[in-house]
Chain A
Amino acid sequence: MNGESMRVIVVGAGLAGLTAAVDLTSAGAEVTVLEARDRVGGRTHGVSVSEGVVADGGGAYLGALHTELLALVREHGLALVSTEMAGDSTFLLADRRTTSATRMPALNAVALGDLFDRLEELVAQVRPEAPWRSPWAGRLDRVSAARWLADEHLHPDAQTFFPLFLGEMMAADPTAISALHMAFYLHSGGGIRFLNAFEGGAQQWRISGGAHLLCQALAERLSQRVRLRQPVCAIDQDGDGVVVHCISDVDGTQSKYFADRVIVAVPPLLAQGIEFRPALRAPRATAATGRGCAIKVHLSYPAALWREQGLSGWSLSAHGPLLSTVDDSPPDQSAGVLTGFVTGAAASAFGPLPSDQKREAVLTHARWLFPQLPPPTRCTVTDWLAEKYSRGCYAALFGLGDWLRLGPTLTEPYGRIHWAGTETSLEFFGLMEGAIRSGRRVATEVIRDGERAVVSGEAMSR
């Protein structure tokens, strides 16, 4: 690759933007990364949950299919931690607490099998390279996942399980996403079984110390090229280049950055909020595009006390806030950490509560789930719905009509403006792996388009 003498601005210092910036820098381009927050990492973020223990407030898990992420982890000398799942699962379904040696909830197994059969049939129809051209794409894009389920007329237990499953898989309320988005997401992530599994699946490992360490390592390689507290509000382009405008949200200071090309590596809802001059011809998000509804709650204990009771710490509840919990304790056993996932409609209800009510709701729920445990020593809430510079997590939720509207131009450059971010990756959409793949893709694209412009002598290569 050769990007020598090309000036590129990357908007957003998450995994996608940082990957692109490192690749372009290696190719000889002059790169500046503009980040709105006072930290890098985007939707990966380390939160302190007890003395000397940092947990993943955002993206955390990875598995064997996440080859680009695994390669970056190795390259930067980071270690993996296996997700601890030994012991019994805990369920709070139909107001009854049960435990089980497997992850199979006390629901009608045949009904759940029927649900997974129908989902598999749907997922098999998706055209992964162009979901908007899947058979029945028009129809599946117009109905919600909830409507799709209702039309399948399955057993009530399948209907109980479905929102929990989508909450865990995609942080989505089934009424808020299209059936096409659900099918695409499950396909894109490596299939239902891989996405759902811990061992042998997408939740096999975490990055020791937190996934944000990878972003910090990438940012260190970029050094002074990363500028923090630079929220981008507008991007101009003309025959000569691009001008990126920032306004500080601290003191209103305005800054301008000039370049040949710009990579917008922020979630679609944030990209849509930037003023482009001339205006975009195709939107990055619509009124139907939603925020990924995930709030993470970390419960800290002196040790992983549930293990002494033969429990894995993994749980599933029919009602919020803690729809699911996972043992995310550090491997050195210096503390016990349970991560609670508040997702989908439960997140929308939980997020606006005042912090004392949040805490009370969490503690009550934890008592029902694990009556033998003492109260946690600390309870840490990370609300991604409220994050101004993420607007949701795990990823944007494509609502009714979005795939047909947004899909065809998902990665199509607009003049000198290129797009990255996990939502622009048809592989592992919404995951860290998708972010990295989008960064790789966009770096190659920028160099190619830059060379073309030089060869043809064109200022713009629309």
Chain B
Amino acid sequence: MSADHIVQIFCRVLGTNEVDASSDFFELGGDSLLATRVLSAIARDYGTELLFEDFVDDPSARGLFSKVAAAVP
């Protein structure tokens, strides 16, 4: 597993292809409303419900992936 899928979620929600695993979601033009849509997509695709605080803590695909990986036993 890698952060690639979360990069794809970022691209879809933000409507851009200019995303890499370390890009800051909010610097890419994301806001809290769009962040919730990333979290709902992660919940659907990984079965892991992250918190909004997880997102703010490191708002990159890599940061979110590390939290998903830590949550999966």
Known: A104-B32, A200-B29. A117 touches B56 (CB 8 A): no
- CB pair B56–A113 under 8 Å, yes or no, is no
Segment among A58-66, A191-199, A429-437 that sits at the interface with chain B: A191-199
Known: A101-B56, A102-B56, A104-B52. A113 touches B31 (CB 8 A): no
Residues of B within 8 A of A (CB): 29, 31-41, 43, 49-52, 55-56
- CB pair B40–A113 under 8 Å, yes or no, is yes
Work out how many contacts link A and B, with CB atoms closer than 8 A. Answer: 56
CB-CB < 8 A to B35: which residues of A?
104, 109, 113
**CB within 8 A of B49: which of A101, A110, A196?**
A110
CA distance A110 to B38 in the complex (A): 8
**CB within 8 A of B33: which of A101, A110, A114, A193?**
A193
- Residues of chain A in range 76-122 having any CB-CB distance to chain B below 8 Å: 101-104, 108-114, 116-117, 120
- CB pair B31–A197 under 8 Å, yes or no, is yes
Task: Tell me the dominant secondary structure on chain A's binding face.
Answer: helix
- CB pair A109–B52 under 8 Å, yes or no, is yes
CB-CB < 8 A to A117: which residues of B?
37, 40-41
**CB within 8 A of A116: which of B37, B49, B52, B56?**
B37
Task: Tell me the dominant secondary structure on chain B's binding face.
Answer: helix
List 27 A–B pairs whose Cβ atoms lie within 8 Å, in order of A's numbering. Answer: A101-B56, A102-B32, A102-B56, A103-B31, A103-B32, A104-B35, A104-B36, A109-B35, A109-B36, A109-B39, A109-B40, A109-B55, A110-B39, A110-B40, A110-B43, A110-B49, A110-B50, A112-B36, A113-B35, A113-B39, A113-B43, A116-B33, A116-B40, A117-B41, A120-B37, A193-B31, A196-B33
CA distance A101 to B35 in the complex (A): 14
CA distance A114 to B43 in the complex (A): 10
Which residue on B lies nearest to A108, using beta carbons?
B49
CA distance A200 to B51 in the complex (A): 25
Add 6 more A-B contacts to A110-B50, A116-B33 (CB < 8 A): A109-B35, A113-B38, A113-B41, A117-B40, A120-B37, A197-B31
- CB pair B32–A113 under 8 Å, yes or no, is no
CA distance A114 to B44 in the complex (A): 9
CB distance from A371 to the nearest CB of B (A): 24
Which residue on B lies nearest to A197, using beta carbons?
B31
CB distance from A78 to the nearest CB of B (A): 28
CA distance A108 to B53 in the complex (A): 11
CB distance from B20 to the nearest CB of A (A): 22
CA distance A102 to B55 in the complex (A): 12
Which residue on B lies nearest to A103, using beta carbons?
B32
Known: A101-B56, A102-B56. A114 touches B40 (CB 8 A): yes
Report the 4 A-B pairs with minimum CB-CB distance, sorted nearest first.
A113-B40, A113-B36, A104-B32, A109-B52
- CB pair A193–B34 under 8 Å, yes or no, is yes
CA distance A200 to B29 in the complex (A): 9
CB-CB < 8 A to B55: which residues of A?
109
CA distance A213 to B57 in the complex (A): 44
CB-CB < 8 A to B41: which residues of A?
113, 117
CB distance from A335 to the nearest CB of B (A): 29
Which residue on B lies nearest to A109, using beta carbons?
B52
CB distance from A124 to the nearest CB of B (A): 12
CB distance from B14 to the nearest CB of A (A): 10
- CB pair A192–B43 under 8 Å, yes or no, is no
CA distance A137 to B33 in the complex (A): 27
Which residue on A lies nearest to B32, using beta carbons?
A104
CB-CB < 8 A to B36: which residues of A?
104, 109-110, 112-113, 116
CA distance A192 to B56 in the complex (A): 22
CB-CB < 8 A to A116: which residues of B?
33, 36-37, 40
CB-CB < 8 A to A101: which residues of B?
56
CA distance A101 to B51 in the complex (A): 15
CA distance A237 to B50 in the complex (A): 64
Which residue on A lies nearest to B26, using beta carbons?
A102
CB distance from A391 to the nearest CB of B (A): 31
CB-CB < 8 A to A109: which residues of B?
35-36, 39-40, 50-52, 55
CB distance from B37 to the nearest CB of A (A): 5
CA distance A108 to B52 in the complex (A): 8
CA distance A197 to B43 in the complex (A): 25
Which residue on A lies nearest to B29, using beta carbons?
A200
CA distance A104 to B38 in the complex (A): 14
Which residue on A lies nearest to B43, using beta carbons?
A110
CA distance A433 to B18 in the complex (A): 32
CB-CB < 8 A to A108: which residues of B?
49
